[in-house]
Chain A
Amino acid sequence: MLGTLQPPRTLSRFPLYLTSRPVTLCTLTAQSPPSTSPAHSQILSIRHSLLTRQVTAAQLAESYLSRLRLTEPHLKSFLHVSDSDAVLRQAALLDQRIAGGEDVGPLAGVVVGVKDNICTADMPSTGGSRVLEGYRPAYDATAVRKIKELGGIVVGKTNLDEFGMGSTTEASAFQVTANPWDVSRVPGGSSGGSAAAVSARQCVVSLGSDTGGSVRQPASFCGVVGLKPTYGRVSRYGLMAYASSLDVIGCFGSSVADTGILLHAISGHDRLDATSSKREVPDFASQFASINLLESKPLKGLRVGVIRETLDEGVDAGVISAIRGAASHLEELGCSVTEISLPSFSLGLPAYYILASSESSSNLSRYDGVRYGNQAVADELNSLYGDSRAKGFGPEVKMRILMGTYGLSAGYYDAYYKRAQQVRTIIRKSFKTALDENDILISPAAPSAAYKIGEKIDDPLAMYAGDIMTVNVNLAGLPALVLPCGFVEGGKVGLPVGLQMIGAAFDEEKLLKVGHIFEQTLQNCRFVPPLIEDDTAW
């Protein structure tokens, strides 16, 4: 398979290849031989082909770079692409080590995209904001450092809504990223660049960040797997803070196994992050059993709760039917599926926006133009601050800073911030109860599939409402896995829909196991966007 990973010749003919295709219903065929092969782990394949010398890291890197070059003009998922010589040099170094029989890390030769609000030494890191235009950090974020140490190659910095504030990636100060499934649509956000890049195979895996759904919603929109780890599982050191008590670095991959392997690589306690957990990190990869080894009811006894409130009014019928389909798929796999209610669910959205805005109003204070980033010319201190920030921040960021400043102000603190914290406690408790009675909870990752660019740009409330499925999970600090489970109509070939699986704190292992089995048994669904469909590697 990987032998064909040469520069894809057909891509040059894009966009002629956006031929229409009927929307398919995915089916479960756990026993019968698959009609289309399920998603496989690119990371494991790469490792295998490198170690068996079927391909070199340099060839691999070159193939990703050339696909990136071809697709990037249509997608604009990257704010910065690494110098290709530098990438190829790193790859060549790996090849030397492999040739010399040296041990190489589990991410050797894996081309990784990194969301631009995650610091990379000597590479621009702007957070998608003018205020940090041209800023190059002095250090690598812990997650990036770990990836590099394990052999991963950072291929570039992906686009995002400014400082992670947004759900479409349209709030980037620099460019709008397109959805590989339909370039007239948004990739979701705020990690839209990272999701689009993996979807279009511009990189193998990517890092995103998730404060209220910023990994899961774009994963759903772009038809890739997105993993939001438990709060504290991954060090936040080097992640530009948006809302510190909610922020987590998350993983994108084209298979559950890839996100699990990437999570394993970046997890663990970090002495530079006081909120990172000291819990042991299980070897998530060990459970990615091959489909052939699965018994007939591989998830027998697993208790799955479908959150009733997430399949309510305001959710697209197509999304609801895809989730219901996924629920029956899980039942077929042996799960006992019941519908459960989380009465506090609807409280999550307002509580989230108060808490996240409040924290962001504080976290963004450091962008004052004094020490780094863009500094306005001013003849007086208040103007220096005012002008640097007025010119540096975009409207969405300004709005959230204002909302957050308001919510923390004397006289309003009790009514807003404090109350929202109380709501958060209630939400945490209701999830705890639900997860005591169920192994996992499921819901859509977003109320709809990807919408058109510009569609919600003037309607922030509608955009905020789109986060309803995801914000509660951040408030509760829980892990959640989003994986494509079906399609709805839209675009030329249909638009992917993501299933969200929510687990108990630090139980990513279970989510990955269930997600992997779900993915391996889902048939007639191929989550490769039309943009690169002709590339036979997928």
Chain B
Amino acid sequence: MMASTIFRSIQNHPLLLYQTALFRRKNGVFYCTMKSTEAQTATQEKQKPPLPKIMKQTKTSDKFSKDYEAVIGIETHVQLNTLTKAFCGCPYNYGSPPNTSVCPICMGLPGALPVLNSKVIELAVKVGLALNSKLSLNSKFDRKQYFYPDLPKGYQISQFDVPIASGGYIDLDLPVEFGGGHRRFGITRVHMEEDAGKLLHSENGSYSQVDLNRAGVPLLEIVSEPDMRTGIEAAEYAAELQRLVRYLGVSNGNMQEGSLRCDVNVSVRPIGQAQFGTKVEIKNLNSFSSVSRAIDFEISRQVLLHSQGQGDQITQETRLWEEGAQKTVTMRKKEGLADYRYFPEPDLPGVILTKEYVNSILDSLPELPEVKRRRYEKMGLSMQDVLFLANDVNVAEFFDATIAKGADVKLAANWIMGDIAAYMKNEKLTINEIKLIPQELAELIASIKGGTISGKIGKEILFELLAKGGTVKGLIKEKDLVQIVDPVEIEKIVDKVLSENPKQLEQYRGGKTKLQGYFAGQVMKLSKGKANPGLLNKILLEKLNAQS
């Protein structure tokens, strides 16, 4: 195997890589790799019980926080889900054994040259358009130069002064439980670049090994304007980006796998001050909740320093979020501005987009989250429902397909958010993995609404459909579940129940009217649940109250 012969760890010559050395990398944090396949969203995360507040300073600074304002900007790296890497033919699969998806190009061997995977451009244009950005019809690649063992060429192919897209904005709705509200955050730029490999450190820290599987995987770096003011806003911005890339199908947006990574910049200033405070960068944010909590911690820390007259202690630095301790700690101080010696990448021709190409991509864009939410809102759904349904593109598509089959909007939403969501959660399935199809959900809703089956039977059928599939009509027929709507037939059953329970009837008529429920239950039981509840109750009452 090429990997085993060419790949070489630093093992032969033990290297003491101290923690500080590990994080000396200049363009991103070293991401540890927790294995998790569970997709998550900011909204879902927030339903977890809140972590205990262990920062004393929060309380102290709370009383000052009204005098200060935080300014937050985010740099997000999104891994594009192209079949092959950005500049070579290697596939990328998260979690593959080290150095099994490498070639001379992504290993930076002498003489190897990059050739751009045109799919990267297509996905970048999609994201640029979806972020309402202005596309550069003539952009180029540049080399960003620094040394680190996970960077095989000693430079990263990136875009410097002419990004593929610049300007733009993203719209989002804050969750109702956080007070709700619509926000629009500015986007500074979107550019294409390649990912670096990963360092694997030995347990005792005496040596490190390089895994280049990830080297050369295409990334989009999306830089926001410093428009956010709270941890929640920042987390929701990141969640909306995740939603957007998933809607567009350009990335799986998975934070645990590092497919979506956020570095945030936080500064604090007295309210009313136009000038920004000293900004601090925070790295190692592996979930939306850590984005939110890290920022809130950092704001508190900075506000406290300001309020104690120690604002000058806030220095331009990179801080690391420690998930265990729930705090940020200094990773490295900025020693002046890093000089990456950018210059145009001579191995790659310029990136030229034609208007026709851009328009063809524009025409192919799917309905985006913001548009979907506004449409759902107009359909009369509550914001809670809107946010739930539009959160996951697959759920939204399921919902859309269901109502396209004529289902009642509110009922469809209730079924999806209620029993279907609960089932998915219990069984750990996505909506694409359940056996129920939108057409049958629409059929189910119509059958209940039309009185063919009762709501109770409907639920039974639903779980059958979720687990095994099939059609509503087929199940009704197979199990003989059609609702009894013939008053004569119901009357017969009622009569039977009354005649079989003379004692209870006597009690009822003696004034114990609560027994109505008992009789209704008995009738329903005898009808195997098929009696139309309205008719049943009407006839039962008539009979119960009839003068004997």
Contact = CB atoms under 8 A, between A and B. Distances in A.
Interface in A357-404: 358-359, 361-362, 364-368, 370-372, 375, 377-381, 384-385
A274 B347 contact: yes
Contacts of B346: 243-245, 275, 359
Interface centre among B2, B12, B339 (most CB of A within 10 A): B339
A454 to B, nearest CB: 29
B7 A371 contact: yes
B473 to A, nearest CB: 55
Contacts of B15: 378-381, 384
Given A138-B6, A275-B347, A359-B346, A380 B16 contact: yes
B104 A358 contact: no
B17 A381 contact: yes
Contact of A244 (B2, B24, B342, B347): B347
B347 A362 contact: no
A111 B111 CA distance: 23
A417 to B, nearest CB: 6
Contact of B109 (A137, A239, A244, A245): A137
Nearest to B13: A377
Contact of A370 (B111, B155, B210): B210
Given A236-B113, A370-B149, A371-B7, A417 B14 contact: no
Contacts of A238: 111-112
A366 B110 contact: yes
A141 interface: yes
B546 interface: no
B263 to A, nearest CB: 22
Interface in B89-122: 104, 107-116
Contacts of A366: 108, 110, 152-154
A237 B113 contact: yes
A244 B347 CA distance: 6
B104 A139 contact: yes
Interface in B152-182: 152-155
Interface string B1-41: 01001111010111111000100100000000000000000
B8 A371 contact: yes
B115 A272 contact: yes
Given A238-B111, A370-B149, A405-B341, A274 B348 contact: yes
Contact of A371 (B13, B17, B115, B210): B210
A165 B282 CA distance: 43
B439 interface: no
Contacts of A244: 346-347
Given A274-B349, A379-B16, A119 B154 contact: no
A444 to B, nearest CB: 29
Contacts of A135: 110
Interface range on chain A (Cβ under 8 Å from partner): 35 or more
Interface string A219-240: 0000000000000000011111
Given A379-B14, A384-B15, A409-B339, A368 B110 contact: no
Interface range on chain B (Cβ under 8 Å from partner): 35 or more
B145 interface: yes
B373 interface: no
A410 B13 contact: no
B154 A381 contact: no
B325 interface: no
Interface centre among A132, A240, A243, A366 (most CB of B within 10 A): A366
A363 to B, nearest CB: 9
A379 B15 CA distance: 5
Nearest to A365: B154
A385 B17 CA distance: 13
B343 interface: yes
Given A135-B110, A237-B111, A381-B21, A375 B153 contact: no
Nearest to A375: B13
Contacts of A364: 154
A413 interface: yes
B337 interface: yes
A17 B157 CA distance: 56
B111 A138 contact: no
6 contacts: A139-B104, A274-B113, A275-B349, A364-B154, A366-B153, A381-B149
Interface of A: 118-119, 125, 127, 132, 135, 137-139, 141, 236-241, 243-245, 271-275, 358-359, 361-362, 364-368, 370-372, 375, 377-381, 384-385, 405, 408-410, 413, 417
Given A359-B346, A380-B21, 8 more contacts: A125-B111, A237-B112, A358-B343, A362-B143, A366-B154, A367-B110, A372-B8, A408-B341
Interface of B: 2, 5-8, 10, 12-17, 21, 24, 104, 107-116, 143, 145, 147, 149, 152-155, 210, 337, 339, 341-343, 346-349
